[in-house]
Structure 1
């Protein structure tokens, strides 16, 4: 059975998409079949996925595969009761076998209205809205089962809107990326209550589905881990004091308010007393270089350093070695996230 996972934080700029892509690459290299689903109308994951292909650089070139919006539109319009997974075309990465993408779509922002209405009307006798409410979860389960994906990794925007909560409530597990700053601290204070409210609303809607012969889904995602992202260090690998301050405050909020009784709760094995599953230092120039080539950060090759060099020359020796060290460190942290969702 496929495990559906999202990296989610209602604050932007916490490297959700970058981490999601690198996690997908890592899992595929461990022999897992991975489907990444771009549910963010900004489509950054889609751009990153196809960056390794030179044939898609022109803006007028049609991206391959079915978009998430095109797939769901027949249900939104009421033309189909259920979306058949057999009609969905996904793309395999040009460098990483067993890594697939259900691509994003700028038009998917329109789904906010359709899904928002389903959340408010599915509890009524409106069959159309009930079927719309369950369509995303059913499609993910169907496509995962039929095509043998071990993991379905969903990329969502930094919002609390209808698209995001539809995706999150459909997940089995959530990983929360965090940056040690004031805004992430404020986000964590609210996040547990927000997700718990979604879970409670889902229970009410689920009860209304059964009398109409519509099978509800579980809708009870668990917290699999948190990831401390993008913190900076001084020379000598000492973490900056300002980051330590906010990390401490965020830790306190994770322990006191993130997980709610009878609501959003931790996965068995997650230690809320030591909540950071992984700690990823600022990777600086490695991220944009990796993005240029559609590669994982830990998979940059020496020749790619030409893009970071002021004279266009490839890095060697003592200049290349720090890159290797940082890539190795990064991969170790991604491996910890993979272990947390296993």
Structure 2
């Protein structure tokens, strides 16, 4: 079982859409998938669930979302509660997000430094996401865990990324994504080093299931680039050309005098096209773009677009699986 986070501190790059579609793609290939919505905006949960069901989970107050599992820690009355997993079909399990998750930020910040003093309670707070994730994954016999986080470098994301074995970086071909990449790379390195330093102080008698904090970069995905005659339009091309070099310098810390073109870069997992009208259609049908049917409005030119979307996401899913070490049939 592999845990993979999808992260960029620049918002609007299609991160949540990517996680949603990969979850459906892996499940369609027979894998059991756990999806963790650790973004306080809970957009991923809203993509999977009808508003009425999401309202029920938020209003339950006992065992509906990730916040309910954290509630004993937030109230300082105990450890994590068993997580609720909302099944989406037979093969996707969702640990729903909640806007109230932002209340956990302060507690995470406070206990990060306390781990250096070997405080057991602090380690229980910092490892909460990891332990919730593992319990939920065991309950559905998950083959892979996909983690969605918000676009920031705060304490919630630090704890979520520590729980991830690997990280995929969604990008848009623009200045802001490149700048986000420059911030993100050193931050991941700092978090990795900081967590390993704290792990050395964890009391052995505590018996806490703690993550190793690997956060191994798997590569990047360029989302929604414009295409004209099978080539990126000029406005995007100037930024695409810079991504391989910035990724090596900022994320891998292995700058090269001349980085390869993005089409030849082994770290580029995919360049996903903008599927134009498919996404609104998919949102109305509450299904992934590559599963749209004529009854959903996918007729005419849309039929070929749906087929191309399926092929693109399948290729990406297989590439991520190959690098993570799990099989896709």
Please report the TM-score for the alignment, with normalisation by the length of structure 2. 0.87
Change (3 A) 1:60 1:254: closer
Q: Which residue of the partner structure matches residue 300 of structure 1?
A: 292
Give the corresponding residue for 2:36.
Answer: 37
CA distance in 2, matches of 1:238, 1:126: 55
By how many angstroms is 1:120 displaced?
2.2
CA 60–183 in structure 1, closer or farther in 2 if over 3 Å, else same: closer
Provide the residue aligned with 2:326 in structure 1: none
166-175 or 144-153, larger mean C-alpha shift: 144-153
| 1:57-76 → structure 2 map (5 Å cutoff) | 57=52, 61-62=56-57, 66-76=64-74
For the Cα contact (< 8 Å) 2:83–2:135, is it kept in 1? no
* 2: CA distance, partners of 1:194 / 1:337: 26
Query: Following the alignment from structure 1 to structure 2, what is the Cα–Cα distance between the partners of residues 120 and 333?
Result: 43
Give ranges in structure 2 of 5+ residues lacking alignment: 255-262, 322-329
Of residues 3-12 and 320-329 in structure 1, the stretch that sits farther from structure 2 once superposed is: 320-329
- Please state how far the C-alpha of 1:62 moved relative to its aligned partner: 4.6
Partner of 1:248: 241
Find runs of 4+ consecutive structure 1 residues off by over 6 angstroms.
Answer: none
TM-score if structure 1 supplies the norm length? 0.84
Write out aligned runs for 1:1-16 (5 A). 2-16=1-15
| 1:102-181 pair list within 5 angstroms | 102-181=95-174
Tell me the equivalent position of 1:338.
317
Aligned residue for 1:277? Answer: 269
Alpha-carbon distance in structure 2 between the residues aligned to 1:4 and 1:62: 24
| Counterparts of 1:189 and 1:252, CA distance in 2 | 11
Q: How many residues align?
A: 309
After superposition, give the CA deviation of every residue in 1:184-216 in whole Å (9 maximum; x if it has no partner). 111112221010000011011101104554444
| Superimposed CA distance per residue, residues 91-112 of structure 1 (whole angstroms, 9 cap, x where no aligned partner) | 112xx42112110111011111
SS of alignment partner, residue 5 of structure 1: strand
Matched, 1:203 2:182: no
Q: Among 83, 87, 91, which residue is 1:88 paired with?
A: 83
In angstroms, what is the RMSD of aligned CA positions? Answer: 2.2
Q: Unaligned 5+ residue runs, structure 1?
A: 262-270, 306-314
Query: Pairwise mapping of residues 14-25 of structure 1 onto structure 2 (< 5 A)?
Result: 14-25=13-24
Residue aligned with 1:329, SS? helix
Q: CA deviation at 1:272?
A: 9.3
